[in-house]
Amino acid sequence: LKPGCIKMNECSILLRYFTEGNDEELLKSARSVNEQQGLSGMVSYLLVEINSMSTSLLLDLCGSFTEAIKSGVCRNEKYLELFAKVLCVISLKEEILCEESNDSTMTGPQCKANVLNKVCSGRWHPNCVVPMASMFRDEPRRAKFRNRENDKGFKRTIIAGIISYMANLNTQIRKEHDLSNEIVAISDQQLQPLEGTIILHITYAIKQDQDLGKEFIKYLKENPNNLSSFTLALSLAITRISRFHDMIFDILKSNIMKAYRDSERLISCRWLRDSVCIPLMIEKSALGVVENSSLGWDQVTQGMIELGFILVDTFLLKTQWAPLQVRQLGTTIILRCFKAHDVKREEIMEQIIDRIISRATTVVTHYIGIFASILSVISQYSTEMSSKLKEAIDHITSLSFETAKEMLLTLLPLFKSNFLLRDYAMNFFFKAVFSRSTEARKIAALGMIILLKAYKDVKYDDGFFNHSSQPAVLCSQEFNLGFYHIASAAPELQQFVCKILIKQFHKIYQSDSGILPPLSFSSCLRTISDETYVVEPMPTLIHYLHQLYFIKNPIEEIDLPMNNVTLWLNSTVSRMIKCEIEDFQLDKSADFSSATIVGRRNLILCRLIAQVYEVLIEVALRRNDFANGSVNYQESQQVLSQSISFVKFSFIALHDRLREIGGHDVDRDEVFQHCRSIGRIIFKAIIGETVHEALSVCDDGIRNKSLSLLQLEAFGYLINTIYEHLSNKIGSFLEDLDILNGHTDDEDEMTYALITVFQKFVNSALNAGTEFKMANVAMTIILSLLQHLSKSAHEQVQKHHEWLLAICKHQVVDDLQLVKSFVDQLFTISNQNENVLELLLTMSIDIHEQLGDVEEDVEIEKHNNFAIITEYTAAPTILVKTALDNIDWLVCHLNSLVSDENIDQKESLKIYNELEMTLYPKLIIVAQCLQEIMKSAIPTETCTEYSVKGVTRFYSSMAFLVKHHIQLFTRRRGCISERFENLVKVSGLQVTPKVYAMLTYLQANRIVTENADDNHKKSKRKEKTSSSSSTRGNALRESRVIPNLIYAIENYEAHLIRLETKSKVNLMQYFKRSTSRDFKIHGATLQTIINDDSDDSSKSPIE
């Protein structure tokens, strides 16, 4: 650019573009002058041309730059470079005429100081803070600017400005526009070191000035949604300052949880999802910090690891969606940090091991899962981690048995690859076998069994097993299971295993055929310090001894002594059949109380006897090698199927076996084969293809409904078990049910086909009018299946919604639990996919129509939109709480939107108005719903509490909204819109009068009820009734909920008065004070009434 190629008036226009932030025009002008140098060349040229500008133009430009700083237009150092040049030229003037000071004159330096004072006295936009600090870097700091530095509000502005600037810079770098590339002049690779340097400077400044740290904490609290990578990294770096450590971690934990809860709320509510878009960025931000920490952000590494453990610790036992996601985020952070930072691996491993050991009495499965994930990538680091792994092994015997078992199975893959660690563990367990603690000996024995799985080509002799076969070890259920697995996998060890199990069986077996019972149950129990323990799990010993008989031994020369075992087991079966309860030293008069030593021992003994019978049933069924088509099998099946008790027992046993599927050492394939067979049989019975003898006829010829209920419950439990533990096989399970005759293998379609089966079952139960228990179980199964439909199954969910809507519209249901199930599912699905408030309003109108009006002379036109709503079932359909929760959340979002300084004011106002247009109509619909409910003649016994709590919640939400408007006026951003005034008008003229009418009705109704109770007492003084106690209970409940309602109304109106004062708008014109709120609860009078009722009850004869 050559001097003189742009005229002076054009220079002033270009400078105007800079102060107005008109980037588009600047870029066009730059391209028209010089394509190569572009905007940078234009800035350089203007810096030269400013020297020749007139004083008036310079002063004019100073005013424009000052306004640009306040509005946030000057967001880059290149803009402020021009401003600094203008100030520099002004300071060189000898005399300047100032129009603002009555045409007085001042020197150039005085004029410059005056401009700077104006800049420092105004409020800076956060986008300008960092560039302004850069500009003042070379300027002598003046007193007014120093005062601003000491002001806490200014410190807050600096913090917010730096965070905002880095966020905008990060965004600009990723924009693929020529203008941003010219202005930012920094690459993505340069940004990470820059952010790291800024974090170091801020943490150093906070160490010198604690108030700066306090302002940062306030910023974090007030901006929970601003968790960018830079903000999170800065927070974690500040946690190294002990004073702020706990506060920042508490805030981060709360903000992360809020992010996931907000995401969950948006997923569950369609109208909120359409109104607000809040992307879930926390996971991306957290993992970005982990990645950057390995590229130079060393100061945040420790904090990141600590945050991961805090998230897992806090939400370890939570089962809801949001806490589960937070816990998973913590797990991911820990694993990523372990992989990224070799110097932190030992520390992470130590923390995990410490938590497993110190929390041995609680659920530590998740930590063991993290431990397993680490072990899966630790093979290349196993040498450097060997000391920590040995430490983990040393503490295994101090854990509970189940925890130790999980740890050992987790370590098993490492034992197979690390010979030194495996030998160390074997030596440790060999010594632990001789521990004084029985639990430690059991764990040591289990450890040796698991270690044997790590060896493949090792020979053994009798010495090892004989030396370690102590009674306390062989009593272990897991030890018996381990022996069976060894015999199955290693044929050369089968003989040794058989000898050990037979030797142990002989200790409890009575060989004399005349002795009943044939097993010594008393020797399997031991009482220590008034507590009874099972020291010999007899059922598992018999089970695995019997299982060994069916193992095919490929080594012919080994003679397994199993023939005698078969004789002993057959004898045991025969003699146990002959036993009576007295043979076990038990009878109907025995003590079975869990509060006494004898009672607890008898309970354990009964449980042990029942488990033995269960195992012997299996022995009896398999001893004749039944085939499905054999005559003996069919005859036996017919005999057993006619025994209702046996069929019930089979379902109960199925429940018990399904609970065991979660173990590590369960053969999942084998278990799934059993599940698919059982599921197919039960499903055919449910749909009516096969009718079991016991299900159709019992001794008196009446259909036995309890067995059908057991069928449904068993199938539901089976479905849940497969989803939980065998989720990868659910498709095969659904295919086996053959619902769609093999026409599709789409999992969603098969799942919905199964849902339709249970929908038909519910329809049949409702038509029968008495099968409500089974309908409830079927609805539980439907709900479980719906939760496992994929996100793309919109068509299936819509069909189920239509079915629910048809049920609610056309079916009368007299079971409250079933009504609640129908309505809850209907509202949940409606809330996810459409505007649920319209449905709520229709149901509220139906409640009013069904219950009648509080004024008896008012006639109501009945439409009967929903047949499910009756006087008896109205209570569970009052569901305004969820709608008001969503409305309160949106108001909170409006608060954060107003206080968010990162959003441009014009953009913020636009978004705010759009959300207001969504919010107020929703609240008006809720008000109309409550108006209908308040006009209803509510039965005191069923609906009072539901309805009063719903109205109380409405007034609390309205008070919250009014407080939001008060905050707006405090920030000088408030205005009373026509929509808001209309909402206040509806609440004052339509809802509040109905509330007072309802309270009057309830009071009158209660007096009538009490008088009826008094007359009933006088006429039948000798009869013991429950009506008086029910009336007292209702009175006590009303004495709590009604004052809460009155307080909520008073609080709402009090905040309206404050808003009226600030806004100068008469909002209280729509409200009229009522005498219904002037009350006082006389505790002494209430107690006297209760005592009188108690005296009356005590005088009545005892029946």
8 A C-beta contact, residue 747 and residue 731: yes
The CA distance from 436 to 418, in Å, is 30
pLDDT of 513 strictly over 50: yes
Nearest to 1048 by CA among 1059, 1060, 1056, 1058: 1056
Structure confidence at residue 1031 (pLDDT): 47
- Tell me: pLDDT of 392 over 80: yes
Cα 911 from Cα 913, distance rounded (Å): 6
> How far are the Cα atoms of 309, 348, 360, 398 from residue 355, in angstroms, in the given order?
10, 11, 8, 13
Phi first, then psi: give them for residue 528, nearest 5 degrees.
-130, 120
Q: Supply the DSSP string of 411-434, one letter for each residue.
A: HHHHHHH-HHHHHHHHHHHHHHTT
Residue 984 clears pLDDT 80, i.e. is over it? yes
Output the DSSP codes for 341-382: -GGGHHHHHHHHHHHHHHTTTS--HHHHHHHHHHHHT-GGGT
From first CA to last CA, the distance across the chain in angstroms is: 111
Our measurement of the distance from residue 794's CA atom to the centroid of its chain's CA atoms, rounded to an integer in Å, reads 23
Residue 1030 has pLDDT above 60, yes or no: no
Taking alpha carbons only, the member of 951, 815, 827, 825 closest to residue 870 is 815
Taking the alpha carbons of 456, 461, 466, 467 in that order, is the dihedral positive or negative?
negative
35 vs 335: CA distance, rounded Å: 50
Q: Tokens at residue 2, please?
A: 């050559």
How would you class 344 by CB atoms within 10 Å of its CB: exposed for 0-12, middle for 13-18, buried for 19 or more?
middle
Helix (H, G, I), strand (E, B) or coil at 162: helix
Tell me: the pLDDT tens digits for 135-184?
A: 666 565 544 445 555 555 678 778 888 888 888 777 777 664 444 444 44
The reported pLDDT for the residue numbered 18 is 61
d(CA 611, CA 540): 9
477-489 and 494-506 are packed helices; what angle lies between their axes, rounded to 10 degrees? 150
Q: How confident is the model at residue 208 (pLDDT cuts 50, 70, 90)?
A: confident
- Residue-averaged pLDDT of the chain: 76
Amino acid residing at 282: I
Q: Is the pTM above the cut of 0.85?
A: no
Tokens 């909520």 found at:
1048
- Determine how many CB atoms are found less than 10 A away from the CB of residue 24: 10
Q: How far apart are CA 1031 and CA 1090, in angstroms?
A: 11
- Check: CB of residue 108 under 8 Å from CB of residue 50: no
Whether the CB-CB separation of 330 and 309 falls below 8 Å is answered with yes
Q: Per-residue pLDDT tens for 714-751? A: 888 888 888 888 888 888 888 888 887 777 778 888 89
Provide the pLDDT for residue 9. Answer: 55
- CB proximity list for 237: less than 8 A, separation 6 or greater: 199, 200, 202, 203, 299, 300, 303
By the 8 A CB rule, do 83 and 74 touch? yes
Q: What is the pLDDT of residues 842-864, one digit of tens each?
A: 888 888 888 888 887 777 777 77
* Most confident range, picked from 298-312, 351-365, 667-681: 298-312
pLDDT at 391: 86
The DSSP 8-state label assigned to residue 96 in this structure reads E
Task: Provide the pLDDT confidence category of residue 1028 given band limits of 50, 70 and 90.
Answer: very low
pLDDT band at 398 (very low <50, low <70, confident <90, very high): confident
Scored b (16 or more CB within 10 A) or e, 1018-1027 reads eeeeeeeeee
From CA 298, how far away is CA 301, in angstroms rounded?
Answer: 5
Instruction: Summarize pLDDT for 73-117 with one digit per residue, the tens.
Output: 665 666 677 778 888 888 888 787 766 555 678 888 888 888 887
630 pLDDT band (50/70/90 cuts)? low
Task: Report, as an integer, the average pLDDT of 828-841.
Answer: 84
515-535 per-position pLDDT tens digit: 888 988 888 888 877 778 777
- Where is 525: in which H helix or E strand? strand 525-528
As a whole number, mean pLDDT of residues 913-925 equals: 86
Residue with tokens 């600009």: 172
> What digits encode the pLDDT tens for the residues 853-905?
888 777 777 777 888 888 777 766 667 788 888 888 888 888 777 766 555 56
CB atoms within 10 A of CB 1097: 13
Look at residue 32 in the predicted model and tell me its pLDDT.
52
- Map residue 528 onto helix, strand or coil: strand
617, containing H or E segment: helix 597-623
3-state secondary structure 448-513: HHHHHHHCCCCCCCHHHHHHHCCHHHHCCHHHHHHHHHHHHHCHHHHHHHHHHHHHHHHCCECCCC
What does the alpha-carbon distance between residue 830 and residue 833 come to, in Å, rounded to a whole number? Answer: 5
Provide the CB-side half-sphere exposure for 207 (13 A, CA): 12
- Report, as an integer, the average pLDDT of 686-698: 52
The predicted pLDDT at position 235 comes to 92
Residue 257: CB partners within 8 Å, gap ≥ 6? 315, 322, 323, 326
Say what the pLDDT of residue 247 is.
Answer: 92
Q: Given CA atoms 38, 43, 46, 47 in this order, what sign does their dihedral have? A: negative
**CA–CA gap between residue 426 and residue 419 (Å, rounded):** 10
- Structure-token pair, residue 197: 């340097």
Cis peptide before 140 (omega within 30 of 0): no
Residue 307 is predicted with a pLDDT of: 93
Please enumerate in sequence order all residues whose Cβ is within 8 A of that of 705, keeping only pairs 6 or more positions apart, or say none. Answer: 771, 773, 774
The answer to whether the beta carbons of residues 468 and 430 sit under 8 Å apart is yes
Task: Check: CB of residue 361 under 8 Å from CB of residue 400.
Answer: yes
User: Looking at the predicted structure, is the pLDDT value of residue 1017 above 60?
Assistant: no
Nearest to 807 by CA among 847, 758, 773, 844: 758
Percent of the chain at pLDDT > 90 equals 6
Q: Is 966 exposed, middle or buried (0-12, 13-18, 19+ CB in 10 A)?
A: middle
pLDDT tier at 1010, thresholds 50, 70, 90 = low
Q: What mean pLDDT comes out for the span 284-309?
A: 86
Cβ–Cβ under 8 Å, residues 846 and 865: yes
Instruction: Report the distance separating Cα 1011 and Cα 1017, nearest Å.
Output: 10
What is the bridge-based pairing of β-strands 531-534 and 525-528?
Answer: antiparallel
Secondary structure class of 765 (helix, strand, coil): helix
Total count of residues recorded for the chain: 1103
| 543-571 per-position pLDDT tens digit | 878 877 666 554 444 454 566 778 888 88
Q: Residue 98: enclosing H or E segment and its boundaries?
A: strand 96-98
Query: For residue 525, what are the β-bridge partners?
Result: 534
Of residues 451 and 204, more confidence is placed in 204
| Per-residue model confidence (pLDDT) at position 639 | 76
- Give pLDDT tens digits for 226-280: 888 889 999 999 999 988 999 999 999 999 999 999 898 888 888 888 888 887 8
**Residue-level pLDDT at 120:** 75
